[in-house]
Amino acid sequence: MSYGYDNPLTISYNFGVEDFADAAQALAIQRPNGKKFARIEDLHVAVTETFNAVTTSAFLRIGTASDADKFAELDMTTAADTDGYGTVDDTDAIKAAGKEIDMDNDGDSAAAIDQLEVATIANTGGTPAGQGYITIVVSWW
């Protein structure tokens, strides 16, 4: 089967429950063999513990090693327990919706990148709280 912009290989990457309030976590999505382009379709967190944002919000970011939010940033604000929270709730979550990511040239210094860096950023102030299961949908071709 041939994959292209109009017929990509779309994969949902599911991560276990992440405790955003605990500390920043570094995760990654590997580029599939033979795929040159990517497009982030959706970011979603199935919230299991209400988020708070006393001083700063928690974030889910997708980018490169030197630019953590280059492709996407989901501001968790005060997402409530049992909510499905994602790009519908935060319209700025995908910085360039539908934007092609050229994995050979969108990296640092126009170098190829082998993976999308995924980071959770802890909220601050008061007693930070917020947990949820992360799903990131990426199309590749």
pLDDT per position as a tens digit, 74-84: 999 999 998 89
| Whether residue 92 has pLDDT greater than 80 | no
Rounded Cα gap, residues 123 and 103, in angstroms: 30
Q: What per-residue confidence (pLDDT) applies to 21?
A: 93
Return the ∠ at Cα 35 (arms to 34 and 36), rounded to 5°.
115
pLDDT at position 98: 59
CA torsion 115→45→98→35, rounded to 10°? 30
110 DSSP assignment: G
Q: What value does the mean pLDDT take over residues 66-95?
A: 88
C-alpha torsion sign, points 81, 130, 75, 87: negative
pLDDT of residue 1: 64
pLDDT tens digits for 14-59? 999 999 999 889 999 999 999 999 999 999 999 999 999 899 999 9
Domains of the chain: residue spans and CATH: 15-140 (2.60.120)
Q: What is the rounded distance in angstroms from the CA atom of residue 55 to the CA atom of residue 76?
A: 13
Q: What is the mean predicted confidence (pLDDT) over 102-123?
A: 88
Among 27, 7, 8, CA closest to 138 = 8
| Cα dist from 88 to 41, 43, 53, 61, 69, whole Å | 12, 9, 19, 16, 18
The tens digit of pLDDT for each residue in 95-108 reads 755 578 999 988 76
